[in-house]
Amino acid sequence: MPDPVAVTPPAVVTSSMDLVTFTHVVLDGSLSDRAAAFWGRALNGSWRAAAPDPGLAASLVQVNGDSYVHRAPRTGTAPALVLEVADVPETVRRLLDLGAGRDEAAGTGLGDPSTEGPSAEDVPGSGGAPGSADGDGAWEGMRSPGGLPFALTLAHPHRRAPAARWKDGNHSRLVQVCLDCPPDRAQAEAEFWRDATGWAWQDSDSAEFVCHLVPSAGSLQLLVQRRASPEPPDVTLHLDLGTSDREAEADRLVALGAERVATGDGWIVLRDPDGTTFCATGQPPEAP
């Protein structure tokens, strides 16, 4: 695997229009050690155990930036996304009015999920969870109208991890979460997330997708996709890497243990060692 050459990013500055200022994604607790190792190498990070809080298993520590990828514990439940907001109680009330529901199983009582503890050590995707820097950030578990579990926590200042620049000239970063929606729920789900986040709506020129939702700054943007099948009935998600060279990125990921599945119009579909689908896309690696 070529060694990455990282650059130091500027501090994240968010627009007052962004109701969600930083977004975290939580990988499923069934993730195998092999797949956890794959994602560590794929995303140019290392899994760390942090403060002794049982809510999450580990965080992927990024080079020159804050963690925004985490792993759920092997037992119990966890949110798929964690959204940082300025006022958690007010946001809960607003999202309930938009059609979200409460989900106590998705609320872990954790604090800032990107803060590593002083006794952190490298682990293969298991161990203690990240803890709160100041103890003020309990998560509030919720579920979108389409059934996607997520959580809210108090916003903290962040540095966004830069794209990894590989020695073959390609550079890449996890830039996007794609919401995979049953066809009859996709439009309403997209409108919910637009209103929930305050992010800019960008129409898609493909009937397969509803829109991109793009923050002014932060860790991740959202893509809302219409699945061909109504099953499963709830909204799910998959990860999208942005890359300057899709073919080079796909080759790199296959060398790390992924399987290439298909080539689309602007993306390459792959599976990680556990068989979980994700994509290498033409989205700019420094997006959003």
Which residue would you say has higher pLDDT here, 273 or 1? Answer: 273
The model's confidence at residue 127, banded by pLDDT at 50, 70 and 90, is: very low
The two domains 16-154 and 164-281 share their CATH topology (first three levels equal): yes
Domain limits of the chain? 16-154, 164-281
Structure tokens belonging to residue 250: 């796909």
DSSP type of residue 4: E
- Average pLDDT for residues 248-261, to the nearest whole number? 98
Tokens encoding 235: 């909204």
What does each C-alpha distance from 112 to 61, 108, 109, 264 come to in angstroms? 14, 11, 10, 37
The pLDDT, as a whole number, for residue 192 is 98
CA distance 149 to 82: 9
Tell me the percentage of the chain whose pLDDT exceeds 90. 68
H or E element that contains 192: helix 186-197
In the three-class reduction of DSSP (H, G, I as helix; E, B as strand; rest coil), residue 287 is classed as coil
- Distance, first Cα to last Cα, the chain: 26
Amino acid code (one letter) for 39: W
Give me the mean pLDDT over the 282-286 stretch.
94
According to the model, what pLDDT value does residue 3 have? 52
User: Which of the pair, 137 or 73, is modelled with greater confidence?
Assistant: 73
What pLDDT band is residue 120 in, cutting at 50, 70 and 90? very low
- pLDDT (tens digit per residue) in 226-250: 999 999 999 999 999 999 999 999 9
Q: What is the pLDDT of residues 37-66, one digit of tens each?
A: 999 999 999 999 754 444 688 999 988 889
For residue 11, pLDDT over 50 is answered with: no
- Residue 42 confidence (pLDDT): 97
Specify the CATH number for 16-154; select among 1.10.10.10, 3.40.720.10, 3.40.50.300, 3.10.180.10: 3.10.180.10
Q: What is the pLDDT at residue 75?
A: 78
pLDDT of residue 137: 52
Q: Which of the following CATH numbers is that of domain 164-281: 1.10.10.10, 3.30.450.40, 1.10.275.10, 3.10.180.10?
A: 3.10.180.10
